[in-house]
């Protein structure tokens, strides 16, 4: 009997030891999904392996980082239509090695000129609908491609778009995460015009491994590759969009499309513990990440420890303060004087930091007083030292549900983010850019490029950006670990369309935080919950300037990968 018990004990000990060993990485953090990817000549990181490979092929055939980024973005519009496409908008930050300079591009579209606030008021709308023809704004993506290509590109758009045209005509296997989100989208859009013809196979969305084709999109991309920017914003494509939208009761027309133009803008930054973190100014929400970092810089985060209740509490409270300003001030700077420089100043952060109670969560947070208002992400680096941080989206996953016949893509619904409050910075007006959630990011050190990164996912994005920077700098994680680490997402009613936070919101914690942390957060008054799949999608490239080596990292929560050569 004694031998039997001993053998059982030995077996259990060995079994548990093996399980523990098998779950741990040999080096690095045990939550890391894999090692960083290394390469000397170039690196591409996207949320789809085939899009990553297309980017690598473009680099190997003589293209630069911008060419590869456009090619990968085009592929993602086909292969991951649940997050982006040519019916949406685009933002980018480009490190141009020749000039040792960062450029920012705002390729977001404007509201229809013939749709006014009076229309919404006369129909009794309190907010702009999420779907249908009314939340449409001009798709800025294609114009953004041509702006980037004209200023920095080496290849012709015909060659850049060719791989995606081939995949659209001949088909490709649908990946697991995309298949899941397409099935979710079908629940909303199944009965919308042209959805079934464009995105379904024999009456259902494709399952993992099914071969999906989109010949209509292939034709649209071929028109764009042959006729240039005007192939989308005038002629057959523009006329088809305009007629379809009108038939559906909307206002977006040919003139809105043709008059659209993207804007080169200056990225803005804050220095966080010796690293310059760069974002784009409003109408996007990028400066919220800078505001969070400025507030958090005043705390000894490293001493708090990653995953501790103290760290999570201070992060969430900093986020609340930044998002109160986001709800009030972030809007189209052509229609409002946005106090960007003051909002991202150290002086302002020091004042806001005093509002944080270290032992109690705030249930109500006001915007500061101003002195004097789903998505894909990808990044590419090339052998010349150029780096691109690019984000592109339709909003609400696939977009508005509006699919013009025979074109193969869905139009975005960014206009939903306008406010119908006449006193709001983000109040709806014709030919105005709505508040935007999608934001690319970049880090430099001592004037040199360091990391190109982004993390998609609605209001998660600035929270995610700040967490990535903190993971890298305060907690000294490597590029892959910084993205794989469990994330925090705080949710409240602080929306750019109006509304205030009155109950403190909810702290959503990804799996990986221990129960003691959760209990400690609950004990001081936080509402804590768990929500699957709302923590964003991360890609990143780091450059070792001394050894001239690129490091790549890709989101373990998505289907994609980083690849170098």
Distance CA 537, CA 82 (A): 13
Dihedral angle of Cα 232, 55, 562, 461, to the nearest 10 degrees: -20
Distance CA 565, CA 524 (A): 50
Distance CA 477, CA 12 (A): 34
Distance CA 33, CA 36 (A): 10
DSSP string, 119-178: HHHHTT-SS--SSSSTT-----HHHHHHHHHHHH--S-HHHHHHHHHHHHHH-EEPPHHH
Which of 433-445 are b and which e, b meaning 16 or more Cβ less than 10 Å from the residue's Cβ?
A: bbbbbbbbbbbbe
Dihedral angle of Cα 549, 555, 560, 561, to the nearest 10 degrees: 20
Distance CA 290, CA 465 (A): 9
Q: Give the other-Cβ count within 10 Å of 538's Cβ.
A: 30
Structure tokens at 557: 């929560």
DSSP string, 295-331: HHTTS-HHHH-TT-HHHHHHHHHHHHHHHHHHHHH-S
Strand, helix or coil for residue 101: strand
Q: How far, CA to CA in Å, does 269 sit from each of 13, 286, 299, 344?
A: 53, 10, 20, 8
Distance CA 67, CA 155 (A): 6
CB 494 within 8 Å of CB 323: yes
375 as an active site residue: the answer is yes
Structure tokens at 373: 């208002």
Catalytic residue among 82, 220, 270, 375: 375
Strands (E), 216-313: 263-265, 268-272, 275-279
Q: How far, CA to CA in Å, does 159 sit from each of 141, 209, 225, 229, 337?
A: 18, 28, 8, 15, 42
Residues labelled catalytic: 375
């Amino acid at each position: 009997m004694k031998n039997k018990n001993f053998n059982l004990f030995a077996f259990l000990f060995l079994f548990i030891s093996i399980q523990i060993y098998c779950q741990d990485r040999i080096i690095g953090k045990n939550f890391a999904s894999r090692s960083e990817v290394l390469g000397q000549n170039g690196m591409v990181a996207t949320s789809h392996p085939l899009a990553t490979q297309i980017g690598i092929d473009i680099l190997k055939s003589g293209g630069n980082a911008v060419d590869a980024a456009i090619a990968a973005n085009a592929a993602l519009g086909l292969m991951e239509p649940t997050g982006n496409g040519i019916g949406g908008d685009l933002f980018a930050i480009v490190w141009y090695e020749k000039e040792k300079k960062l450029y920012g591009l705002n390729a977001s579209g404007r509201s229809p000129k013939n749709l006014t606030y009076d229309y919404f008021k006369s129909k009794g709308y309190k907010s702009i609908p999420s779907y249908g023809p009314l939340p449409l704004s001009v798709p800025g993506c294609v114009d953004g491609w041509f702006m980037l290509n004209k200023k920095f590109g080496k290849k012709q758009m015909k060659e850049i778009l060719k791989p995606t045209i081939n995949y659209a005509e001949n088909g490709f296997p649908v990946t697991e995460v995309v298949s899941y989100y397409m099935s979710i989208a079908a629940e909303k859009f199944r009965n919308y015009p042209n959805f079934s013809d464009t995105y379904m196979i024999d009456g259902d969305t494709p399952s993992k491994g099914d071969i999906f084709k989109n010949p209509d999109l292939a034709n649209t991309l071929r028109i764009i590759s042959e006729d240039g920017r005007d192939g989308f914003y005038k002629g057959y494509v523009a006329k088809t969009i305009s007629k379809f939208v009108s038939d559906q009761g909307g206002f977006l027309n040919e003139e809105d499309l043709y008059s659209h133009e993207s804007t080169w803008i200056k990225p803005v930054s804050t220095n966080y513990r010796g690293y310059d973190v760069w974002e784009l100014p409003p109408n996007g929400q990028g400066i919220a990440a800078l505001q969070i970092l400025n507030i958090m810089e005043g705390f000894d985060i490293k001493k708090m420890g990653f995953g501790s209740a103290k760290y999570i509490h201070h992060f969430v409270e900093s986020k609340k303060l930044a998002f109160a300003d986001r709800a009030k001030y972030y809007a189209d700077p052509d229609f409002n004087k946005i106090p960007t420089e003051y909002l991202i100043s150290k002086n302002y952060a020091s004042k806001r930091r005093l509002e944080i109670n270290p032992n109690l969560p705030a249930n109500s947070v006001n915007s500061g007083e101003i002195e004097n208002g789903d998505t894909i992400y990808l990044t590419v680096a090339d052998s010349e030292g150029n780096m691109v941080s690019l984000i592109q989206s339709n909003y609400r996953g696939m977009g508005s549900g509006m699919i013009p016949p025979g074109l193969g893509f869905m139009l975005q619904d960014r206009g939903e983010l306008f406010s119908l409050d006449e006193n709001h910075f983000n109040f709806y007006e014709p030919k105005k850019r709505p508040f935007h959630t999608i934001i690319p990011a970049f880090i430099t050190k001592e004037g040199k490029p360091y990391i190109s990164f982004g993390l998609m996912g609605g209001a998660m994005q600035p929270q995610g950006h700040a967490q990535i920077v903190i993971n890298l700098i305060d907690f000294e994680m490597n590029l892959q670990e910084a993205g794989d680490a469990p994330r925090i997402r705080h949710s409240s009613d602080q929306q750019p369309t109006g509304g205030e936070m009155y109950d403190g919101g909810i702290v959503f914690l990804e799996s990986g935080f221990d129960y003691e942390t959760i209990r400690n957060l609950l004990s001081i008054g936080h509402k804590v919950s768990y929500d699957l799949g709302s923590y964003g999608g991360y890609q990143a490239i780091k450059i070792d300037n001394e050894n001239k080596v690129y490091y790549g990292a890709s989101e373990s929560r998505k289907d994609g990968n980083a690849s170098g050569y």
